[in-house]
Homo-oligomer: A and B are copies of this chain.
Amino acid sequence: MKRAMTKIFADFIARRGLKSTKQRDIILDGFLASDRHLSIEELYLKIRASHPNIGYATVYRTLKLFAEAGIAREMQFGDGQTRYEHAGEGEHHDHLVCTRCGSIEEFENETIEQLQAEVANSRGFLIEKHRLELYGVCGSCRK
């Protein structure tokens, strides 16, 4: 998986005539090694710990690149920060966001997707993407 991502990004870099740099490698490592759904700030701080000379702007730009390359996906939950999650090829998932501890679980439900498509269809609406988030209290926090 990690190998695959690395490969995809390398190809993307090559295809676009961009350059391979150690910063990009470091940021990619940090991103792939992390839990999903990090904000720019979080990844920046994490990387900064071992590589104090990497700037915020570089992390910011590189994350955008990842999104363009298709290995990351931008997400906005309610906290005013843009978060990035790993984007496995084409897969999509929705989220369960805990309002207590902030944890984010993922789920998929084919039936819901179908119903969404029906709703859209019945209105002549063409879906490009969707977003479904359930906010509440997760299992651990309820104990």
Contact = CB atoms under 8 A, between A and B. Distances in A.
A99 B128 contact: yes
B105 A112 contact: no
B137 A126 contact: yes
Contacts of A99: 128
A119 interface: yes
Complex copy number for this chain: 2
A132 B132 contact: yes
Contact of A131 (B111, B116, B127, B131): B131
Contact of A130 (B119, B135, B137): B135
Given A78-B76, A133-B130, A135-B129, A96 B123 contact: yes
6 contacts: A120-B134, A123-B138, A124-B139, A124-B142, A127-B134, A130-B134
